[in-house]
Every structure is written in C-alpha cells, then in structure tokens.
Amino acid sequence: MATIDDILAAARKHCNEVIKPEVDSWNAARKWPRHASDKAAALGLTGLYAPPEWGGQGLSLGDGIRVYEELGKGDGAYAFTLSMHNICTFAVCGFGSDALKQAWARDLTAGRKLANFSLTEPQSGSDAATMYTRARINGDGT
C-alpha cells in the first residue's frame, strides 16, 4: 500500500501533467474528462478512504483533504468531484450491506464506476441543513 507521501506526489504529478494542461479544454467542452479520472484511478485516487480489503487506500479524511488540495491547484471542480466520489465510495464500503459492497465497492475504488451525491429541494436548494423534507418510519414499519 502506498504512503501518504506517495499518494500526494502522485496527485501533484496528475495535477501538473493532466489537469493543468487540459482544464481549459474540459471547461470549454462542458464535459467530464473521463480519461483524466481514469488516469486518477490508475494512481489510486478513486479509492482514497475505502479500506484496502476493497481495493482502497484507507486514508483518513484529513489526508484525503491534502490530496484534494493538490488536485485543486489545477482545478477546484475536478478535485471536488473526486472528493464526492470518494465520500460516496467510503459510504458504500463502510456502511453498505454485503450485497451492496459486493456489487459496487471494487468498481468504485478502481474508478470503473464513478459515484456522486446530488441534492435539491424547492425551499432550500442544495443546502441540506435547511431541508424541510424528512423520511420517517411509521408505526407499521413503512
């Protein structure tokens, strides 16, 4: 397994060799640069928080933030998108059912599939803290 210094060096190199030279063309095309995230995946950057048994790096949240800081030097949106993928992957690997983990964990950590989180509500937009909608279990279990 790679050390945090190895992972940071890989993120720095990815930023300088892939993100910075290409970010303007990504933005002009208004399209996700799948080839770039495939390169990030090859460096282990799509499984930062996932445990090694699922193919991840097992980093702490703090060390993950250090990785996104390096990626963000090239493009904040790219770094943010990979951070959301990693948080979703962490949730699947850490809290998902065995069936969910078997179906998704390895593809997510390897970057073959990308995960993300979206939220919107008429009264609060994307501010999760001010949402009115709530899910509640009724007395009959529904």
Domain chopping of the chain, boundaries? 4-116
With a cut of 80, say whether residue 134 has pLDDT above it.
no
Distance from C-alpha of 115 to C-alpha of 82, rounded to nearest angstrom? 9
Which two three-digit tokens encode residue 38?
């495939």
Distance from C-alpha of 79 to C-alpha of 110, rounded to nearest angstrom? 17
For CA atoms 4, 5, 8, 13, the dihedral sign is negative
Residue 5's pLDDT is 98
Residue 130's pLDDT is 84
Which two three-digit tokens encode residue 20?
């910075």
Residue 114's pLDDT is 97
Contact at 8 Å (CB) between 78 and 86?
Answer: no
Reported as a pLDDT band with limits 50, 70 and 90, residue 65 is very high
Reported as a pLDDT band with limits 50, 70 and 90, residue 1 is confident
Domain 4-116 is in which class? Answer: mainly alpha
Distance from C-alpha of 97 to C-alpha of 113, rounded to nearest angstrom? 18
- Three-state secondary-structure class, residue 135: coil
With a cut of 90, say whether residue 4 has pLDDT above it.
yes
Give 31-54 pLDDT, tens digit per residue. Answer: 999 999 999 999 999 999 999 999
Mean pLDDT, range 4-22, rounded to an integer: 98
With a cut of 90, say whether residue 56 has pLDDT above it.
yes
Asked whether the whole model's pTM tops 0.75, one would answer yes
Q: Which residues, 6+ apart, have CB-to-CB distance to 83 below 8 Å?
A: 64, 68
